[in-house]
Amino acid sequence: MKITELAGTGICVEGNDIDTDRIIPARFMKEITFANMGRYAFYDQRFDERGAAKPHPFNDPRFQGASLLIVNKNFGCGSSREHAPQALMRSGIRAVLGESFAEIFAGNCTAMGVPTVTASESEIADLMAAVRQTPALGLRLSLADRTLSYHTKRVPVCLSDVVRRAFLEGTWDSTSLMLANLDQVRRTAGRLAYLNRFSQ
């Protein structure tokens, strides 16, 4: 599936160095599927030990349904757990805009079709202020043009040429790509001695 543009409202989670354990605490990784991961996003920041809700953007009704997450520096650092981007995606997030991202986190996001794009510190600060002031503000992220548009602003965003091309061509989804070329995969597997051993 090609991803050229994403539109929706925004939600801000402020702070530098927000690691994957804050995005999804490790105790929720024992589940055998990703199906329920969305409910655990930022769980310990959202709920106290009794399960009562705490003030947090993901609990704020004004930001319900938001699909573009806005963050600061080094978001997704720490453990390389795939559960973190899974939790965000399954909570409705379709793209993450920030000042910078941990490399493995960004790679995991790409593998599930969630672009991570960067903008300058000042542009992110302006965007956060605009979203906080107007939660229903419409945002449009164009991967084709490398721009984020809102109000009358058109902000340049960055993502690597390789990642951008994968989204624009629809090759980010390696599983679908392999299934679409299953005959070729089987032919290649048939030439590999270490795989042939196990088929006898």
Whether residues 125 and 53 share a domain: the answer is yes
Amino acid residing at 4: T
| SS3 per-residue string spanning 170-181 | CCCCHHHHHHHC
43-82 confidence digits (pLDDT tens) = 999 999 999 999 999 999 999 999 999 999 999 999 888 9
* pLDDT of the residue at 196: 63
Q: What is the pTM of this model?
A: 0.88
Average pLDDT estimate for 4-14: 98
Whether residues 165 and 178 share a domain: the answer is no
Average pLDDT estimate for 164-178: 80
Whether residues 70 and 145 share a domain: the answer is yes
Domain that holds residue 200: 172-200
Contact in structure between 29 and 11 (CB atoms under 8 Å): no
| pLDDT range class, residue 195, cuts 50, 70, 90 | low
Neighbours of 75 (CB within 10 A): 29
Number of helical H runs and strand E runs in the chain: 9, 8
End-to-end CA distance of the chain: 36
Does residue 189 have a pLDDT over 80? no
| pLDDT range class, residue 181, cuts 50, 70, 90 | low
Average pLDDT estimate for 89-106: 97
Split into its structural domains, the chain has a count of 2
Whether residues 54 and 81 share a domain: the answer is yes
